[in-house]
Structure 1
Amino acid sequence: MTVDAAKLTRRPIAAGDAASLAELLNAIEVVDVFGEYYSEEDATDQINAPSLDLERGTVGVFDGDRMVGYSSAAHKPLVDEVHRVTVSGGVHPRYRRRGLGAELLAAGIAGAKALHAIHHPDRPLAVDAQNNALNDGARACYLAAGMTPVRWYSHLRHPLGAAAVEVSTPDGLALEGYSVDNDAEFFAVSNEAVRDRWGGVPMPLEQWRAFLGWSAFRPDLSFLLRDAADGAAAGVLLAYSWDADTAATGVRDAHLLRIGTRRAFRRRGVAGALIGHALRAARSAGFDRASVEVDADSPQGSNGLYERAGFTVARAEVRYTLTP
Structure 2
Amino acid sequence: MDAIRWRAAAAGDAAALANLFASSEAVAAVELETSAERIRSRLAHPGLDLDRYTTIGLGPDGSAAAYAEVCDMGVAADALRLRLTRAIRPDIGDEVDSHLHSWLLEKAGRLHRERAPELDAILGTRCGDSQQTLSSRLTDAGFEPTWRKVDMVHDLNTPRPTDAPTPPELVIVPFETRYDERTWRAHNDAYAASPSAAVLDRESWQQHATGLSSFLPGASFVAVTPEDDVAAFVLTVRDTDDDRRNDAVLECVGTRVAWRRRGLARTLVAEALRACRTNGFERVRLQADSANSAAIELYVKLGFIETGRGYSVLTRRLKASGNT
Provide the TM-score with structure 2 as the length reference: 0.89
8 Å Cα contact 1:13/1:58 also seen in 2:
yes
What are the superposed Cα offsets for residues 14-63 of structure 1, whole Å, 9 maximum, x if unpaired?
Answer: 11211211111111122223466623222212211222111221111111
Task: Using the TM superposition, give the Cα deviation of residue 136 of structure 1 relative to its aligned residue in structure 2, in angstroms.
Answer: 2.1
Confirm whether residue 305 of structure 1 aligns to residue 298 of structure 2.
Answer: yes
Q: Identical aligned pairs, as a percentage?
A: 24
Q: Which residue of 1 aligns with 2:270?
A: 276
Kindly provide the amino acid, as one letter, of the partner of residue 263 in structure 2: G
Q: SS where residue 281 of structure 1 aligns? A: helix
Q: SS where residue 94 of structure 1 aligns? A: coil
Q: Which one of the candidate residues 305, 314, 321 is aligned to 1:320?
A: 314
1:171–1:76: structure 2 CA closer, same or farther, 3 Å change rule?
Answer: closer
Task: Using the TM superposition, give the Cα deviation of residue 134 of structure 1 relative to its aligned residue in structure 2, in angstroms.
Answer: 2.9
In structure 2, C-alpha distance between the alignment counterparts of 1:195 and 1:70, rounded to whole Å = 29
List aligned pairs for 1:94-243, cutoff 5 A. Answer: 94-97=91-94, 99-167=95-163, 170-172=166-168, 173-200=170-197, 202-211=199-208, 212-227=210-225, 229-243=226-240
Task: Using the TM superposition, give the Cα deviation of residue 176 of structure 1 relative to its aligned residue in structure 2, in angstroms.
Answer: 1.3
Kindly provide the amino acid, as one letter, of the partner of residue 80 in structure 1: A
Kindly provide the amino acid, as one letter, of the partner of residue 13 in structure 2: D
Gapped regions of structure 2 (runs ≥ 5)? 319-324
In structure 1, C-alpha distance between the alignment counterparts of 2:77 and 2:52, rounded to whole Å = 23
Q: Which residue of 1 aligns with 2:322?
A: none
Kindly provide the amino acid, as one letter, of the partner of residue 219 in structure 2: L
List aligned pairs for 1:48-59, cutoff 5 A. Answer: 48-59=44-55
What are the superposed Cα offsets for residues 291-320 of structure 1, whole Å, 9 maximum, x if unpaired?
Answer: 11122224x832122122111222221112
Q: Which one of the candidate residues 15, 20, 31 is aligned to 1:19?
A: 15
- Number of aligned residue pairs: give it: 314
What are the superposed Cα offsets for residues 152-204 of structure 1, whole Å, 9 maximum, x if unpaired?
Answer: 22221111212431315515232211111121221121122112434446321
In structure 1, C-alpha distance between the alignment counterparts of 2:144 and 2:227, rounded to whole Å = 47
Kindly provide the amino acid, as one letter, of the partner of residue 248 in structure 1: D
8 Å Cα contact 1:21/1:43 also seen in 2:
yes
Provide the TM-score with structure 1 as the length reference: 0.89
Task: Using the TM superposition, give the Cα deviation of residue 141 of structure 1 relative to its aligned residue in structure 2, in angstroms.
Answer: 3.1
In structure 1, C-alpha distance between the alignment counterparts of 2:44 and 2:228, rounded to whole Å = 36
1:184–1:321: structure 2 CA closer, same or farther, 3 Å change rule?
Answer: closer
Gapped regions of structure 1 (runs ≥ 5)? none
1:204–1:266: structure 2 CA closer, same or farther, 3 Å change rule?
Answer: same
Farther-moved stretch of structure 1 (193-202 vs 233-242)? 193-202
In structure 2, C-alpha distance between the alignment counterparts of 1:113 and 1:313, rounded to whole Å = 36
Task: Using the TM superposition, give the Cα deviation of residue 230 of structure 1 relative to its aligned residue in structure 2, in angstroms.
Answer: 4.6
Q: SS where residue 73 of structure 1 aligns? A: strand
Q: Which residue of 1 aligns with 2:259?
A: 265
Q: SS where residue 85 of structure 2 aligns? A: strand
1:323–1:194: structure 2 CA closer, same or farther, 3 Å change rule?
Answer: closer
